[in-house]
Chains A and B, each alone.
Chain A
């Protein structure tokens, strides 16, 4: 699942996670000033957003969002 939850009680809209995400998965909602998951399927599950969030508002889980063909 990669990025699984952004706790809007904790998110203060600092956008650090948006800035960090290598896959452009996260976006800021200008109306609520909260970050949301816009392109979940492109999440690569790197956990950077969770690690960098100063509010500990993000939780990731290491399961793939998309099927990846395997070597065998």
Chain B
């Protein structure tokens, strides 16, 4: 089989909103050649293509200071506040760009943009499901971006410590692709462990794992502000949380009680995703499961908005018999997903990673850089695209190390030669069994996480190296399975390291510790070992700081108030 070699000034890996914006903005910033590569199809795969009809964008007329404060507090004061500010300033410009590309946000009869509630108190714009990314994809082509689809990047190319491109293969015909690039932007997203919501099972963290192998530093892989999401338990329906709770959907426990007000009295069902999932977990832990989403009281106008923004999920609800005409006819059992593992790269305000020549944006960058959700991913892509184009202009001609390419090529295809190896499905299931239980990464305990780490290390040592592939489709599946196992290791080790309750709950460390833990956890691969270190959040130059040095986590406090737990010897004891 022949190799395919591409040469470009800016290489963008990933076909979602962050990558597509990065590619467009790199072109607009003067990069002559911009190439966007996607293991699926630009604009038609990954999470952005299934974004749930809701675009959370602040407008200049909004109370930006209040939003700033909310975003920092919701992120447990771990966010890069200079980046929060950039996002708030840029978001409406990005929205105008999108409209100029042909993205149709829903308007009122008067022609004015219709803003609707979602999570939190912020208002968002609605759009018709997949149409948003279709417009973005076309805009990228019109700007002169070259798109290479169905090519999965598996490794970065380096020379004298600088990233000079990437290598991968065509998932259909197996051809080996070499991308020689002045600068590379990683935007292939986080890992969702092939969990519940349809449309998100192709995000497996492959880019992060490749970057880690190339020597990049990943940051705080455990403290994403929405560590899980929740969707329909036993059917393949979703996503759409913003629209459901925004239009008035209510979460009920197994006794038919609305429970969110106990845990977040202000936002109730519209709490941020992480809070809502923790509350669901606490109810189940108290024996009050299962959990239902009740939308039976929504009127036809509210259901109409859901249908408009979520055409695919609405069709799924109809097929399953939950949505008949303009009414949801019964409460639907819901379940939290496996954790979202935003094992993003440590980046600066311009989204430059720790490796020269490599930028990361969207969910490939650390959650602390405000990169999650469509709007944040979009602004991160814009900033990264502009900065990377400048880098490419200043950096010299990239040099490819032929020996490195040959070595990567050989390693990549090994699963195809293996006989009697291990099926990708076996590894996928093994990893899911470890990370999916809510008592591992949502409601945490050191002992349970240590057990999970031992299981993942066993998968990495004894299963992943033996993965086999029958053809190039299975080769993709094998690499995805292997990525998932590595991501689980990063996430669990990072979570064990954080000895406090901040974004998730720890039974053995129920307090939020602002004295010792206003820190980011960085991880780097050194040979066989993961090196873990911390970096102080630069609170001294940030606007918002936590008020109390140490306090019981508000959700543990709520659980104590209702008699579900007691704090004994500094740890949680269940009633």
Taking Cβ atoms with an 8 Å cutoff, the residues of A that contact B are 2, 19-20, 22-24, 38-39, 41-42, 44-48, 50-51, 60-64, 66-72
Taking a contact as CB atoms under 8 Å apart, the answer to whether B432 and A20 are in contact is no
Quote the shortest CB–CB distance from B493 to chain A (angstroms).
21
Query: Which of A24, A42, A61, A67 is the one whose CB lies under 8 Å from B319?
Result: A61
Q: Within 8 Å of chain A (Cβ to Cβ): is B67?
A: no
Taking a contact as CB atoms under 8 Å apart, the answer to whether A72 and B316 are in contact is no
Taking a contact as CB atoms under 8 Å apart, the answer to whether B432 and A19 are in contact is no
Main secondary structure of the interface of A (DSSP, over half): loop
Chain B contact-residue range equals 35 or more
Query: Given A24-B171, A68-B432, A70-B335, are A45 and B198 also a contact pair (CB < 8 Å)?
Result: yes
State the CA gap A66–B429 with chains docked (Å): 10
Quote the shortest CB–CB distance from B377 to chain A (angstroms).
17
Taking Cβ atoms with an 8 Å cutoff, the residues of B that contact A are 40-41, 44-46, 49-50, 130, 150, 171-172, 194-196, 198-202, 228, 233, 235-237, 281, 284, 289-290, 311-312, 315-316, 319-320, 335-338, 425, 429, 432-433, 436-438, 442, 473, 476-477
Report A-chain residues with C-beta under 8 Å of the C-beta of B41. Answer: 19-20, 22
Q: Across the interface, name the chain A residue whose C-beta is closest to B316.
A: A62
Taking a contact as CB atoms under 8 Å apart, the answer to whether A46 and B337 are in contact is no
How many A-B residue pairs have C-beta atoms within 8 angstroms? Tell me: 101
Taking a contact as CB atoms under 8 Å apart, the answer to whether A68 and B194 are in contact is yes
Q: Across the interface, name the chain A residue whose C-beta is closest to B129.
A: A51
State the CA gap A63–B199 with chains docked (Å): 14
Query: Given A22-B41, A71-B438, A72-B335, are A41 and B425 also a contact pair (CB < 8 Å)?
Result: yes
Taking a contact as CB atoms under 8 Å apart, the answer to whether A47 and B438 are in contact is no
Quote the shortest CB–CB distance from A44 to chain B (angstroms).
4
State the CA gap A46–B311 with chains docked (Å): 11
Main secondary structure of the interface of B (DSSP, over half): loop
Report B-chain residues with C-beta under 8 Å of the C-beta of A44. Answer: 194, 198-202, 236
State the CA gap A62–B311 with chains docked (Å): 14
Query: Which of A20, A22, A66 is the one whose CB lies under 8 Å from B46?
Result: A22
Taking a contact as CB atoms under 8 Å apart, the answer to whether A64 and B311 are in contact is no
Report A-chain residues with C-beta under 8 Å of the C-beta of B442. Answer: 71
10 closest Cβ pairs, A-B complex: A22-B45, A45-B236, A44-B201, A45-B198, A71-B438, A62-B316, A69-B436, A22-B40, A46-B199, A62-B236
Q: Across the interface, name the chain A residue whose C-beta is closest to B228.
A: A71
Q: Across the interface, name the chain B residue whose C-beta is closest to A4.
A: B319
Taking a contact as CB atoms under 8 Å apart, the answer to whether B436 and A42 are in contact is no
Report A-chain residues with C-beta under 8 Å of the C-beta of B50. Answer: 46
State the CA gap A42–B471 with chains docked (Å): 14
Query: Which of A2, A24, A60, A66 is the one whose CB lies under 8 Å from B425?
Result: A66
Report B-chain residues with C-beta under 8 Å of the C-beta of A64. Answer: 235-236
Taking a contact as CB atoms under 8 Å apart, the answer to whether B236 and A63 are in contact is yes
Report A-chain residues with C-beta under 8 Å of the C-beta of B235. Answer: 62-64
State the CA gap A46–B477 with chains docked (Å): 18
Taking a contact as CB atoms under 8 Å apart, the answer to whether A51 and B438 are in contact is no
